[in-house]
């Protein structure tokens, strides 16, 4: 129920109250009790309001009445909370004829729309970006965990924050971080070798040492150790620490359990002032864990400010990390800087960790691709100990094809929502204020309209061009006719600012893992279940058998 609907009901009932009071006072119905007149008037007003909301507005007045609809009010819930999230949205996109928008009924005058084509996506993410915002209840809950940083800010505050952070994410700076990413990947590989030795598996072929590894935890630790120095100049060293509270907190908060998914749905349905008072252990866990992270980020902000004292920060940048850049600009309070650090810590490592996990899974399912990728990596990079440049990895066709297919097929955030803050237009349809738009990367990235009949298939070759001489080169379109065919990182002014950073991380991690190890599933007959409150990853974890392949 939207605020607009509540306001209309309130106005109608106040009108009924005034009318009933006037009639009773005027003695129009002298033999009827005042309270009966009042209740009758309110009842009539309520009935008229329901007729307006359920019949007159949706079928006669709404500019969206012509849109094709998916029947059933629970379909919105299904889209947001099913496994894998976005599966039903993909089915509707494939089966419901539409011109860019599909409608769902939810509550009186609360319509959800799903964007399906280039024009609709262009209007929402680029042409009219600031006509749409994340719903307040959604933002209010997530802010408990990641603060009101760049992801959750809207309007002018978002524009200001984006402008302040943009310099840290230009292509030149990202390419300058490949050395750090490759160094951390080397530590990651060494830790995986130790894990293999500690959890050996007997092999029949005898072609190297094999062991069991659960990849999701290691992937999360790797990306945390990369984003720490990059975002705030702090190396958490979670890869080499048996116990690391920062790493454990994120794994705990983002653990993909059904309870956390249910907790998320409760927080979306009910206001925060109420849900935070529910005696639920998850409330205490979030308060304790996020409280620790806030305290840590505040400490780091103070240390960074102190290190700048007495230095001329106007003449040259003193720091290459994001926090240093923002302090130099002098536009943020300590509290705002803490929010930004929470945002970058959470979003900056969990999304890439999820992508690395899915890459390992898909390469286990496609061993021939894994073999070809290993051959390419070893042909161009002598060993994991060799230094590399951005050009070494960005020019490898199979590596880039694999990474692009993973990001296309398995977006870490498969569904997100926007709400129209004013009357606007999408794909030629007038959109009322309060209308909610479902953006579903999982469905769009697999749309046959963009990707053809092979849209659901893992085909790294779609990202590779071959010239007449047979030479392979990287392409960045995958054969699709529009950039909006892949919206893993969204597009436009609200696109993920760290998309190039994430791609660079993924290239380094996949190149390192496949260059050194051969992988297969511990249970080749088993499947994985993807879930999670915001991002998604395997509920059971990703349990691999990994073999050290000699010669690299």
> Residues forming the annotated binding site for heme?
496
CB 372 within 8 A of CB 529: no
Angle between helices 136-146 and 258-269 (to 10 degrees): 130
CB 439 within 8 A of CB 490: yes
Q: Across-strand partners of 112?
A: 104, 436
Q: Of 552, 533, 468, 542, which is closest to residue 83 (Cα–Cα)? A: 533
CB 37 within 8 A of CB 467: no
Give the span between the Cα atoms of 152 and 154, in whole angstroms: 7
Write the Ramachandran bin of 47: left for phi over 0, alpha for psi from -120 to 50, otherwise beta: alpha
Tell me the CA end-to-end span of the chain in Å, nearest whole number.
60
What tokens does 75 get? 């379909």
Give the H or E element holding residue 138.
helix 136-146
Contacts of residue 128, Cβ cutoff 8 Å, sequence gap at least 6: 424, 425, 426
Contacts of residue 209, Cβ cutoff 8 Å, sequence gap at least 6: 196, 197, 200, 547, 548
Q: Residue-wise over 233-263: b if at least 16 C-beta within 10 A, else e?
A: bbebbbbeeeebebbbbbbebbbbeeebbeb
SS3 state of residue 225: helix
**Which residues line the annotated binding site?**
496
Residue 519: φ, ψ to 5°: -125, 150
SS3 state of residue 107: strand
What tokens does 277 get? 């008072």
DSSP 433: T
CB 86 within 8 A of CB 95: no
Give the span between the Cα atoms of 236 and 430, in whole angstroms: 49
CB 53 within 8 A of CB 109: yes
Neighbours of 468 (CB within 10 A): 5
What tokens does 139 get? 């933002």
Give the span between the Cα atoms of 73 and 111, in whole angstroms: 10
DSSP 549: P
With 0-12 CB in 10 A as exposed, 13-18 as middle and 19+ as buried, what is 137?
A: middle
Distances (CA, A) of 128 to 121, 379, 493: 10, 47, 10
Any long-range contacts for 472-477 (C-beta under 8 Å, 24+ apart)?
472/397, 472/398, 473/397, 474/394, 474/395, 474/396, 474/397, 474/400, 474/401, 476/404
Give the span between the Cα atoms of 290 and 280, in whole angstroms: 16
């Amino acid at each position: 129920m939207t605020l607009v609907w509540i306001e209309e009901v309130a106005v109608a009932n106040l009108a009924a109250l005034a009318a009933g009071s006037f009639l009773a006072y005027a003695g129009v119905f002298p033999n009827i009790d005042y309270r009966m007149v009042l209740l009758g008037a309110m009842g009539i007003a309520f009935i008229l309001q329901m007729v307006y909301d359920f019949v007159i507005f949706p079928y006669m007045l709404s500019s969206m009445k012509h849109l094709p609809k998916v029947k059933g009010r629970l379909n919105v819930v299904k889209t947001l909370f099913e496994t894998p999230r976005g599966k039903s949205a993909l089915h509707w996109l494939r089966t419901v004829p539409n011109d860019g928008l599909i409608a769902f009924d939810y509550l009186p005058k609360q319509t959800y729309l799903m964007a399906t084509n280039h024009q609709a996506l262009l209007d929402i993410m680029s042409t009219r970006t600031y006509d749409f915002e994340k719903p307040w209840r959604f933002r209010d809950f997530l802010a408990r965990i990641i603060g009101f940083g760049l992801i959750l800010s809207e309007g002018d505050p978002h524009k200001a924050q984006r402008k302040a952070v943009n310099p840290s994410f230009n292509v030149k700076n990202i390419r300058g971080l490949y050395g750090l990413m490759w160094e951390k990947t080397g530590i990651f590989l060494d830790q995986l070798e130790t894990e293999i030795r500690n959890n050996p598996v007997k092999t029949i072929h005898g072609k190297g040492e094999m062991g069991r590894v659960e990849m999701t935890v290691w992937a999360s630790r790797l990306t945390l150790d990369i984003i720490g120095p990059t975002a705030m100049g702090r190396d958490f060293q979670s890869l080499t620490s048996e116990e690391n509270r920062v790493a454990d907190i994120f794994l705990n908060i983002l653990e993909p359990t059904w309870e956390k998914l249910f907790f998320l749905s409760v927080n979306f349905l009910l206001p925060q002032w109420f849900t935070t008072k529910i005696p639920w252990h998850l409330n205490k866990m979030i308060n304790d864990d996020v409280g620790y992270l806030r305290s840590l980020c505040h400490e780091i902000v103070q240390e960074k400010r102190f290190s700048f004292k007495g230095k001329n920060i106007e003449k040259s940048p003193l720091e290459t990390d994001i926090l240093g850049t923002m302090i130099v600009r002098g536009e943020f309070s300590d509290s705002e800087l803490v929010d930004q650090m929470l945002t970058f810590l959470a979003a900056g490592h969990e999304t890439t960790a999820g992508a690395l996990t899915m890459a390992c899974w898909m390469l286990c399912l496609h061993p021939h691709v894994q073999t070809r990728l290993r051959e390419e990596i070893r042909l161009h990079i002598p060993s994991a100990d060799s230094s590399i440049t951005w050009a070494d990895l960005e020019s490898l066709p199979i590596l880039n094809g694999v990474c692009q297919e993973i990001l296309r097929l398995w977006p870490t955030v498969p569904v997100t929502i926007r709400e129209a803050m004013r009357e606007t237009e999408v794909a030629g349809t007038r959109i009322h204020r309060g209308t909610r738009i479902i953006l579903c990367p999982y469905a769009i990235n697999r749309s046959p309209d963009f990707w053809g009949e092979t849209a659901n298939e893992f085909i790294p070759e779609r990202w590779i061009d071959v010239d007449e001489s047979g030479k392979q080169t990287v392409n960045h379109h995958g054969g699709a006719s529009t950039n909006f065919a892949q919206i893993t990182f969204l597009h436009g002014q609200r696109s993920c600012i760290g998309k190039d950073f994430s791609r660079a991380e993924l290239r380094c991690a996949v190149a390192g893992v496949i260059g050194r190890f051969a992988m297969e599933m511990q249970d080749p007959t088993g499947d994985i279940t993807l879930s999670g409150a915001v991002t998604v990853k395997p509920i059971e974890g990703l349990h691999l058998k990994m073999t050290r392949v000699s010669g690299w």
